[in-house]
Structure 1
Amino acid sequence: MLYQIIQYIKFFLKSTNQHGVHSPFVYNLVTKCFYDNTSYTEYKNIIAYRRSLLKNKSTIAVTDLGVGSSKIKSTARSVSKMAKHAGTPLQRAKLLFRLVHYFNSKHILELGTSLGIASQAMRLGNPKATIISIEGCPNLAAFTKANFLNNIMKPINFMTGDFKDALSNLTNNSFDFIFFDGNHTKTATLNYFNTLLPTIHNDSVFIFDDIYWSKEMTEAWEVIKEHPQVTVTIDTFYWGFVFFRKEQHKEHFKIRV
């Protein structure tokens, strides 16, 4: 926690808003998506789904394949506590919706389904998109899949198992949008990044959750930023955005969201 506080202070001092951005691509993304204040009707669905999870007192035996939750140590976890402490926060779920909507992403991959808060937001962002979501814990995956069916949400291809094994079968795909939200370790994060590089195209975007989770996650983020195929990155503290646009010079931004 102390590490994150120190890093946030450094981030705040170095970050800017749209007025410090000279790239038209990044400026439009910040002003038309990050800072979009539209009250989308889909937000009601996002709020309702998250609220239903917060009220759910049932427990799930969770198997962590990564570093696990920093706030919930028990393997038998209540859905309500996971939604509160480990699920995607409401404002970030809304941002995920806006991002998929803004980019009109048609082929989406999520690493770390959890309770499906982010999955639902991305589905609402583009109801016609093909979405694959991978969860390492079988019990958690089963709960979320059933929950989606009960809420009559449009299908998502839920996969269960170790990310490394699952990704080996996806490298022939092409993805517009990949959300990395699982196994917050340096080695795993870099392995997933390198494994999925063959799936990118010029307009693909990678989003890494919790880039300041730990010192090694920040180290992974710094390595990713310097990769020769990466041209633009945006650090919003909680998330790191990676773009591969060949028409742009290599630039790194720190944006307050």
Structure 2
Amino acid sequence: MLSGLFKYLKFLITSSNQHGVHSPFVYNFITRSIYTKTRYKGNKVIDVLLKSVDYFEAKVILLPKEDIVLKDLIQKNSSKMAFQGKPYDIIYLEHPDEVSHQEYGPSGNRVHNDSMLLINSIHKNKKMETHWENIKKWEHVTVTLDFFYCGAVFFRKEQAEEHFKIRI
């Protein structure tokens, strides 16, 4: 328990809000989506997911297969959503160790230039943090947002490589 508290305090010290962001893409995403007062759910990760679906007007999303409750929640908020078909606009995974470079790399067909990969539990333990750090090093990953509770990965070719820690 104390280890998690120290991780979170360290995150707070090293993170910023929208004022520490120098990327127009990230700034707009944070201010027009993540920091809006609308709250979909008490869970911060689900809130980020639902706000991202709205902001990016996602049409095709990949969720963990067994999460029917989450699928229903997304459909209530965005009726034009499909859960099958590739490439995906948003991919939501429960753990960073579920991500492989082969599946989500440039040779795979799961993501496109504007896809977002949202990963829960990136700071759950040392193993998950190591997976998160490895994902950030992939050559085709251009932007990552560490929200502590989850992480967002973007593959935008027109974007300079940047990694942010953002308080939510």
- Please state which band the TM-score falls in when normalised by the shorter chain: 0.7 to 0.9
> In the aligned structure 1, how far is the partner of 2:7 from the partner of 2:27?
24
Pick 1 or 2: higher relative contact order, CA cutoff 8 A, min separation 6.
2
Greater share of residues in helix: 1
Q: Is the 1:99–1:125 contact (alpha carbons within 8 Å) kept by the matching residues of 2? A: no
Name the residue aligned to 1:76.
none
How many residues in Structure 1 have an aligned counterpart in Structure 2? Answer: 165
1:123 aligns with 2:75: yes
Match of 1:208 in 2: 119
Partner of 2:14: 14
8 Å contact from structure 2 (residues 122, 148) kept in 1: yes
Find the counterpart in structure 2 of residue 109 from structure 1.
Answer: 62
Distance 2:44 2:150 in 1: 13
Amino acid at match of 2:82: T
Structure 1: unaligned runs, 5 residues or longer: 47-88, 133-169
Deviation of 1:28 (Å): 0.4
C-alpha contact 2:45 2:150 (8 A) present in aligned 1:
no
The letter of the residue matching 1:251 is E
Give a deviation string over 1:120-170, Cα, whole Å, max 9, x none.
Answer: 3322342111125xxxxxxxxxxxxxxxxxxxxxxxxxxxxxxxxxxxxx8
Structure 1: how far apart are the matches of 2:5 and 2:33?
27
CA RMSD, Structure 1 to Structure 2 (Å): 2.1
Query: Secondary structure at the residue paired with 1:203?
Result: strand
Give the direction of change, closer, same or farther, for the CA distance of 1:10–1:253 in structure 2 (3 Å limit).
same
Residue identity matched to 1:101 = D
Within the candidate set 128, 151, 158, 1:240 is matched to: 151
Determine helix, strand or coil for the equivalent of 1:207.
Answer: strand
SS in 2 for 1:179: strand
Aligned-residue offset at 1:115: 5.6
Is 2:130 aligned against 1:228? no
Report the TM-score when normalising by structure 1: 0.59
In 1, the alpha carbon distance for the partners of 2:98 and 2:115 equals 18
Q: Does 1:189 align with 2:98?
A: yes
What SS is found at the alignment partner of 1:127?
coil
Structure 1, residues 149-204: CA drift from partner, whole Å, max 9, x if none? xxxxxxxxxxxxxxxxxxxxx8xx211100001xx4x6x4343x532331111000
For 1:27 and 1:95, locate their aligned partners in 2 and report how far apart those are by CA, in whole Å.
Answer: 15
Distance between the aligned counterparts of 1:240 and 1:109, measured in 2? 16
Distance in 1 separating the partners of 2:123 and 2:44:
18
**Residue 130 of structure 1 aligns to a residue in which SS?**
coil
1:8-50 Cα distance to aligned partner (Å, 9 max, x none): 11110011111111100000011000111147xxx4xx6xxxx
* Gapped regions of structure 2 (runs ≥ 5): none
Answering whether residue 160 of structure 2 is matched by residue 252 of structure 1, we say no
State the distance in 1 between where 2:43 and 2:125 align: 23
User: Which residue of structure 1 aligns with residue 91 of structure 2?
Assistant: 178
Cα contact 1:112–1:180 (8 A) shared by 2: no
The CA deviation at 1:112 is 5.4
**TM-score, normalised on structure 2?**
0.88
Verify the 8 A CA contact 1:234 1:254 in the aligned structure 2: yes
Given that 2:44 and 2:149 are in contact with CA atoms closer than 8 Å, whether structure 1 keeps it comes out as no
**Greater gyration radius:** 1
